[in-house]
Amino acid sequence: MTWETEGLLTNLTILTVCGSLGLGIGSIAGGSLAASLGGIRRTMLISNVVAIISCCLKLIEWFPALVAGRLLFGICCGAQQFCMSKALNDTVPVKKIQLFSQFINGGLGIGVFISNLLGFLIPILDEEDPQSRADLIADENWRIVYGFSIVCEVFALIIIPLAFPSLSLSSLVQSGEKEQAKTLVKRVYKLAHLGAEEEDKAAEEIVNILGSTTSGSSSDLTLGEALTSKQHRFTSWNAVIMTFINQFSGISAILFFQTNIFLHMKDTGEFTLLPVIWSVQCVNFINMVASFFSHIPSGIFGQRVNLITGTHAVYICLAGIVVFNMMDLSIGILICLLCHLTCYQLSLGAIVLAHVQETCADRAVGFATLLFFLWVVITSLLIAPMIDNMGSSFTFGFFAVWTFLGSIYLHFNLKDTTYKYVVVEEAGEKVQKRVPCTEKDKKQLYMT
């Protein structure tokens, strides 16, 4: 890439915004695309093909092609995210859906880790070495980094026809197509081993359960209705606020600042065990591992307790970073950084988007996702100027304050989608039992 230095920041900003904007557009348009293209599977296949084309555009050393490729790829990923969420709701039993949400969070952790590993292919710029800049400009490995996503999309193109149903199970149940729903259930839940009679009985039981727990389609709601109607507005705006809390928890600042921490620790002799670049990768690996265990505390304590407790822990870690930074104690900063990443992944990182998808109408999910990526862009653009002009302590203190305010909001407004309490009669006495929330329970949780 031979961009002029004066325009480098502008170009990077445009590319960053295009990717996030595309994700938001795809998330909002996902429901309409699935309806117009004939179902989830067809939408996934078409978006995968378009995503491969967009990846090829990103390999062209021409800025408009890069912009178009980033925007188009983002739209495809947003649509795929919507379709995968709907497919999970249609095919995975309610009691297991939370586990799949954590797998999605783990997948994001893997994505971040692999992206950073691919960065090893790009030469490191040394401002004091003129040849370093020339080597970086001449290097062509950036095409490998951008081209790696083609491999992922081709793999998905092979898997999708096998993994995703061509019809929506919930839509069949809602429209009264019971026999078609039973046929789809038999294929999705793989019941053939039961024998013909037991297979039919099990399929009918699952269809009846789905019929009793479905909340009706929310795809027909417009975005305006989702945001303003008395029934849905609190749910939708609550989702918007939760995505704000997620990104203003300082996660982007942590990922941005970790390299500076290791450089300082190397200069002062506090940490010389690994080169800086490998130390950063170790932190990213811990971040990835923590994301895979995020389902454990939610399963034990429920979403509400886990999210509120985790948010408290996050702002305490941020405050710790401020204190240790003022003391110029890098090892203390590193410990708080690792605790922050772990607490974030076990709470905010794992729960927020899952909670939004569970409780909101389709269009509101898309809108909240759009704003989620907008907050990513805003925080990413804020961090470098804030650290340069106001210092690291102010930057992390800024995010600590917002996270503290977020924890207060969650304490008064967050409801649990993991379990509910019902009164049942046992041995002639009424007792309170904790049971998993159904899909209908989750969608009606905030409705007024």
Q: What integer is the mean pLDDT of 351-360?
A: 81
275 and 423, same domain (yes or no): yes
Is residue 106 in a domain?
A: no
Is residue 372 in a domain?
A: yes
pTM above 0.85, yes or no: no
pLDDT at site 91: 60
Question: Whole-angstrom Cα distance, residue 21 to residue 15?
Answer: 10
Kindly state the percentage of the chain with pLDDT values over 70.
Answer: 71
239 and 187, same domain (yes or no): no
277 and 188, same domain (yes or no): no
Averaged pLDDT score across all residues of the chain:
76
Is residue 99 in a domain?
A: no
153 and 175, same domain (yes or no): no
Q: How many domains does the chain have?
A: 3
Residue 216 has pLDDT above 60, yes or no: no
pLDDT at site 3: 45
Per the structure, the complete domain to which residue 440 belongs is given by: 220-447
pLDDT at site 14: 75
pLDDT at site 284: 78
Residue 442 has pLDDT above 70, yes or no: yes
pLDDT classification of 215: cutoffs 50, 70, 90: very low
299 and 181, same domain (yes or no): no
146 and 176, same domain (yes or no): no
Q: What integer is the mean pLDDT of 75-103?
A: 68
Tokens of 176: 């009264």
pLDDT classification of 142: cutoffs 50, 70, 90: confident
Q: Do the Cβ atoms of 169 and 185 come closer than 8 Å?
A: yes
Is residue 316 in a domain?
A: yes
Q: Is the dihedral of CA 382, 385, 389, 394 positive or negative?
A: positive
Question: Whole-angstrom Cα distance, residue 139 to residue 154?
Answer: 26
Q: Do the Cβ atoms of 117 and 70 come closer than 8 Å?
A: no
pLDDT at site 382: 78
Residue 433 has pLDDT above 70, yes or no: yes
Is residue 82 in a domain?
A: yes
Task: Say which residue, 436 or 47, is predicted with more confidence.
Answer: 47
Which phi and psi angles does 293 have, rounded to 5°?
-105, 10
63 and 187, same domain (yes or no): no
Is residue 130 in a domain?
A: yes
pLDDT at site 320: 93
365 and 404, same domain (yes or no): yes
Q: What integer is the mean pLDDT of 159-186?
A: 61
206 and 248, same domain (yes or no): no
pLDDT at site 177: 61
Q: Is the dihedral of CA 217, 92, 96, 28 positive or negative?
A: negative
Is residue 404 in a domain?
A: yes
Place of tokens 């995020």: 294
| Residue where one domain finishes, among candidates 154, 184, 216 | 216
pLDDT at site 410: 93
153 and 177, same domain (yes or no): no
> What is the CATH number for 441?
1.20.1250.20
Angle between helices 94-118 and 276-292 (to 10 degrees): 170
Question: Whole-angstrom Cα distance, residue 166 to residue 162?
Answer: 10
Is residue 108 in a domain?
A: no
pLDDT at site 291: 76
| Residue where one domain finishes, among candidates 148, 165, 182 | 165
364 and 335, same domain (yes or no): yes
pLDDT classification of 164: cutoffs 50, 70, 90: low
Residue 88 has pLDDT above 90, yes or no: no
Closest CA to 94 of 418, 445, 422: 418
| Residue where one domain finishes, among candidates 181, 196, 216 | 216
pLDDT classification of 412: cutoffs 50, 70, 90: very high
| Range list of H helices, 360-413 | 362-390, 392-413
pLDDT classification of 213: cutoffs 50, 70, 90: very low
28 and 144, same domain (yes or no): yes
